[in-house]
Amino acid sequence: MRLPRILTPRVTASAHCDLPCGVYDPAQARIEAESVKMICEKYQANTDPEFRTRAILIKEQRAELVKHHLWVLWTDYFKAPHFEKYPHLHQLFNEATKLAGAAGAKGGTDPAKADELLAKIDEISKIFWETKQA
């Protein structure tokens, strides 16, 4: 039968992600983390129950986006040579994603937790840009 042979790919391609765009930037995580911080501040300043409920829902969505953007950098951008050069990078990502998660900004409304998250993202960003210079 010729049909299976016709449908068989002639060239096999591989990529590090679903669409090999090559666009990576910790700024995506930072923007969402800044949103988390601002929502925490607005939450603290407002006692309206409906506002607070909406704020928590949006903050949790933004915190989840922070984790997503960090995971993409961690799993798709950074490679073995980066982790060899920066041996603390795995720990840094682990700490940052936990600060974005339930034990951190996602699970609470303290702007200080968001500041800690932003500081970790800044550390990751510094390393990211150093790798782009190499």
Question: Can you give the pTM of this predicted structure?
Answer: 0.83
Backbone angles phi, psi at 105, to 5 degrees: -65, -35
What CATH class is the domain 24-133? Answer: mainly alpha
Per-residue pLDDT averaged across 45-61, rounded?
A: 97
Higher pLDDT residue, 9 or 64?
A: 64
